[in-house]
Structure 1
């Protein structure tokens, strides 16, 4: 078995080579989304669309000076002559006022590239590398989508290296302490490497047929090692227990697979089902996480159930060798005193005052979840960059100095020959658009409109607004003290109001706000049935595993409470910036990324993982005849150290991502770490025992099942008095 698995691992390692280069940096919306189709029409028919790069040229003198103008024209000509460039809008040589600041010290060059995402991104990276810096008297810096992506890739790679340097030694120490031997600690490392490598090879094959996001690889790596530690810890600990009882390796391995192996299989099924619900969402980024997540879960379960038993058969007693912390460990207790461990005493303390503990924990979770009421969903955009990043500084400078030129304007496109022929229809539609709340002006082929009235002649030649049977309307949003950002709730609501205006022909609405509105629309339509499916499938699997009707309901509700508390904490820290001055910079982002809550699919699966650790022993003790308090206390004594240690390992890996300078990695790393630590402490160690004590015998109620179990226990002679 080990030879076959090793051969498979070598083949997978070869197949995984070059995966990262084929992953997409930002694949959020599918090509069928309305905002994506609107952008495609603007680019193909009008030579417009959002620029990929914005080059800010700054000089100490005037941008109209001879040397500055010569350098600016030379830079513009070189960009325009590049065959990869679709169009260039520059202050030089025509000197449009919107591309120059009033003090004449700064001017702007907007660039868009040809080709698909990978080709245009490569062209943008090359332009940033070649043309930023000094250009004669000009100092050129970059902003825009591609500049943000390039900077985020650089910072992400640096952050991941830093996380590896910090996290790996800590994880190794936790594994050595938890497994009690260097030999046993290497088992989850081997299984984790096998799971991650095979999943990376699978993603490499998947890139041949669909778009796969680079973010999926980060999630897959963390999840693969987390599950490997979880499952290996459960099997190795149970093997040691059975080996001490049986005295022989073969029977101990078989007993381990009958008990802990069954729990691993059910747990893996639950985690995979939770991640499968992400397939319901037609967003490439989300489906990429689902592909990688489901693959790494199945690979982890297969690795644990195939590799670990084979290793245990070969190692036997040698699995306990090389305990580097042997002098620091307390002496082993005698068998008669095993029930009096710290976890056992904690469970009994909770079951003596269940109502007080339950109320206290629920109040704490409610307090943590309260900031979720302040949630403002949006997209981070360049907010994900740290304030000291040159791209972030340039982006802020461009937004402040060129608000009217580079603001996130919605674009409305009327399709069909009727839109081009009927000036009356275009006029009426433009008047209706200009009356939409949040719109300051609408520009189109028939004129400029304000508050339902035409206020000026067309702002440019007719070809700018009507081409090939399509008519374009440029919407200028109303602005407050700062330019409106389309990647905020206000931008999304404006796009929704524009889409609700009756149009004479088919219409497309694009822009940053429209993209956010498309993502929110997909989540609003598909997320409720996805959550319902995950909850139903998890309930059924837990029902089969526990043979109880109430325990699965309790598990689902407690997981939901834990995730809400985690989400509220993330909103307080990263959106509102309440403790940000100490930990995460000077202020919050102002919005919560609309994709961020989807990471809770991973957190929910891991929480169920720890639930299975606890339930497997509680149910086993109860079926042997123990009362509910004793079953809970004994189950917590046997599994508390396991799921706490597993959670600490996973939290160490994910929390190290918070060392990154990128906001979205900080959110994901902190969120997953808080979720698992909160779950393994106040939820599993306090709230679960309290609620099970309050419910009492009803925990085990299932029509027609309980009597059969008790009768079987009496027949087999396994029932015992605690």
Structure 2
């Protein structure tokens, strides 16, 4: 009977690990081609006017927005036999690819020739992002094989997306090559042992493979951003290891206190296991708020975050205990004897907590520092990611630079006014175009009737122009401007254009870069209050259920917001203002408007993660002693080393993203890494003890009716 009771847990552990192994293998197979099924866009609101305008342009005026721009260099000149042969080969390659067509070339347009005898071929690609991607890949192969008399560079939005795919794939390998060895070293020093260090990395591997497999499944039914993979690798590695670190530390602490292996595992499950589940719920709740936005770029990170958290929690509270059941005391294999006195790290953080608790004024310089960090955010400028997010030597980036320096690309900044149901006469179109051309900042308006400047027709249209800007009931008016699209002036121009009534019962759509920017901003602004309310409400409810306090959840919310606003200022200081751009290797540009939202939700969730770790230990000590000062000191002493190690490991995972060649990934990694360290050191080490000293006996206060609810449904460690 005794033998049976001993073997049953081991049997269950073996079955659990076998299920985990099967899941990992299946997920690895399912996620093998995940990068091929993800998309590079998703920054737009699909319901916006600018997106609808772009769809009308592609559908009715396919030559108006070529997805692919080919820059051709011929050593003998464009008009040489080699130049003509190159063009014939390019046209032949394009004609052989479905959904692709040449809409303009240096053979029939002087505007597509430069003074340096460099030519451009414009290629329209029909279909969605997947179709465009496949066509671009096919064209790269065909042109590389068939065009031997010239050098051809790929640019335009299709070229940029193709380069982004290749760059992200390379970046993931580089980042993990850096992060994993450093993480192993940190884990080794945290546990002073080989086996204990390897276990969390194994769970992290399961988490990453499982998350990629699940993400690929989701990508079959909805659009998922390519950049979500970076979150899977960074957060999957860091979060899984953090949870395992927390569980293993409690397990070993209980064993050191005299508990048997089975008792230590049971206590760790009952206490730390609950903390991990609660922590996962907090992180998932913060990331889930991204689902409220219409941009699939943001929604993708919500999806990725949810699967990462689920896999991390299951790995830490199911797979890890199963492994510990089988290993038993062999968990200490390869353990080194430490010359440091036992609990040295805990005593350090005990003293830190005591120092902050007895000196509440220390909060003043910390808050002043965070406010100073936040200051640059006041002059933040926002935009939409373009080719500048790529390295300077990326092919599509080089093409964009060539187009700016060697060709007239003013049309790229133009505002497009389109309609597919024009019901008016030519006279009404004349009046509409004249009024548009009178708007401040508009240089010219080109229509099927000709070009209008300052309220009058200056260049009548020829047959080719008329055909180019009109297709039956569909009209396209190109509004040329010298206003920078991503600027307040650009937004004002779009509003002025949209304010002009086209008359005749027609409905027009306004597109272009400036319109895209204002539509994205309006979409995010409309959803932001709901997202903020959701994240605040979920945080308050979850932490109340964990602590039974009204004040502690409010404190956590306020302190996290203060810390994260400081990080947004750092992002502006670095990536918009260009400080350290040479060292970090990126081109300064306006902040991608979605990134602050994304950074805030990720960092907020992780900050709440550490809040749960710390509050669990403080609350445990307070219940045991009733002494608040001692509870804060000993709680920080017990959790401080864990939070420090966890923060260091998680920060390494995100800082490794700084090696990315894509600036928005670099921005996300650096911003989140700094946020993690500030939260672990300044917020948890100083502001939390100070607040708890100031709040005193009200820390765990709640109205009677809420206290009754907590007694009934609250879940706490213990």
- DSSP 3-state at the match of 1:407: helix
After superposition, residues 390-539 of structure 1 pair within 5 angstroms as 390-404=395-409, 406-418=411-423, 421-458=424-461, 460-478=464-482, 484=484, 486=485, 490-504=489-503, 505-539=506-540
Instruction: Give 1:76 deviation, angstroms.
Output: 5.2
User: What CA deviation, in whole Å up to 9, does each residue of 1:142-166 have, x standing for no partner?
Assistant: 3211222222333333332222222
- DSSP 3-state at the match of 1:624: helix
- Residue in 1 that maps onto 2:174: 162
- Residue in 2 that maps onto 1:87: 101
Instruction: Give 1:77 deviation, angstroms.
Output: 3.5
Change (3 A) 1:352 1:162: same
Instruction: Give 1:189 deviation, angstroms.
Output: 2.0
Residue from 338, 351, 355 that aligns with 2:357:
351
User: What CA deviation, in whole Å up to 9, does each residue of 1:501-533 have, x standing for no partner?
Assistant: 333321112223333333222211112201210
Instruction: Give 1:668 deviation, angstroms.
Output: 1.5
- Residue in 2 that maps onto 1:98: 111
Instruction: Give 1:679 deviation, angstroms.
Output: 0.9
- Residue in 2 that maps onto 1:40: 55
- Residue in 2 that maps onto 1:715: none
- Residue in 1 that maps onto 2:703: 703
- Does residue 149 (structure 1) correspond to residue 153 (structure 2)? The answer is no
Give the whole-Å Cα distance in 2 for the aligned partners of 1:209 and 1:57. Answer: 39
TM-score normalised by L of structure 2? 0.90
Change (3 A) 1:220 1:159: closer
- Residue in 2 that maps onto 1:593: 592
After superposition, residues 149-548 of structure 1 pair within 5 angstroms as 149-323=161-335, 326-332=336-342, 341-355=347-361, 357-404=362-409, 406-418=411-423, 421-458=424-461, 460-478=464-482, 484=484, 486=485, 490-504=489-503, 505-548=506-549
Contact 1:132 1:141 in 2 (8 A): no
- Residue in 2 that maps onto 1:681: 681
Instruction: Give 1:430 deviation, angstroms.
Output: 1.6
Instruction: Give 1:499 deviation, angstroms.
Output: 2.7
TM-score normalised by L of structure 1? 0.90
Aligned residues: 692
User: What CA deviation, in whole Å up to 9, does each residue of 1:242-283 have, x standing for no partner?
Assistant: 233352233322222222122112111111111111111121
4+ residue segments displaced more than 6 Å: 705-709
- Residue in 2 that maps onto 1:638: 638
Give the whole-Å Cα distance in 1 for the aligned partners of 2:482 and 2:345. Answer: 69
Contact 1:182 1:322 in 2 (8 A): yes
Change (3 A) 1:132 1:396: farther
Give the whole-Å Cα distance in 2 for the aligned partners of 1:641 and 1:328. Answer: 15
Contact 2:210 2:311 in 1 (8 A): yes
User: What CA deviation, in whole Å up to 9, does each residue of 1:607-659 have, x standing for no partner?
Assistant: 11111111111111112234222111111100011111111111111111112
- Residue in 2 that maps onto 1:616: 616
User: What CA deviation, in whole Å up to 9, does each residue of 1:412-448 have, x standing for no partner?
Assistant: 1123251xx4223322322232233322111112332
Instruction: Give 1:212 deviation, angstroms.
Output: 1.6
Contact 2:540 2:553 in 1 (8 A): yes
Give the whole-Å Cα distance in 1 for the aligned partners of 2:561 and 2:66. Answer: 42
- Residue in 2 that maps onto 1:551: 552
Deviates more, 1:53-62 or 1:556-565: 53-62
Contact 1:375 1:592 in 2 (8 A): yes
Deviates more, 1:136-145 or 1:562-571: 136-145
Give the whole-Å Cα distance in 2 for the aligned partners of 1:707 and 1:521. Answer: 41
Give the whole-Å Cα distance in 2 for the aligned partners of 1:292 and 1:148. Answer: 24
Contact 2:283 2:606 in 1 (8 A): yes
Contact 2:279 2:612 in 1 (8 A): yes
User: What CA deviation, in whole Å up to 9, does each residue of 1:508-567 have, x standing for no partner?
Assistant: 122233333332222111122012101111111111211111111111111111211111
Give the whole-Å Cα distance in 2 for the aligned partners of 1:141 and 1:17. Answer: 29
RMSD of aligned C-alpha atoms? 2.7
Change (3 A) 1:7 1:136: closer
Deviates more, 1:203-212 or 1:602-611: 203-212
Contact 1:62 1:104 in 2 (8 A): no
Contact 1:133 1:140 in 2 (8 A): no
Give the whole-Å Cα distance in 1 for the aligned partners of 2:537 and 2:300. Answer: 23
Give the whole-Å Cα distance in 2 for the aligned partners of 1:264 and 1:136. Answer: 60
- Residue in 1 that maps onto 2:714: none
Give the whole-Å Cα distance in 1 for the aligned partners of 2:707 and 2:433. Answer: 73
Contact 1:156 1:662 in 2 (8 A): yes
> What residue ranges of structure 1 are gaps of 5+ in the alignment?
712-717
- Does residue 127 (structure 1) correspond to residue 139 (structure 2)? The answer is yes
Give the whole-Å Cα distance in 2 for the aligned partners of 1:631 and 1:659. Answer: 41
Contact 1:34 1:518 in 2 (8 A): yes
Contact 2:377 2:568 in 1 (8 A): yes
Contact 1:235 1:261 in 2 (8 A): yes
Contact 2:421 2:473 in 1 (8 A): yes
Contact 2:422 2:474 in 1 (8 A): yes
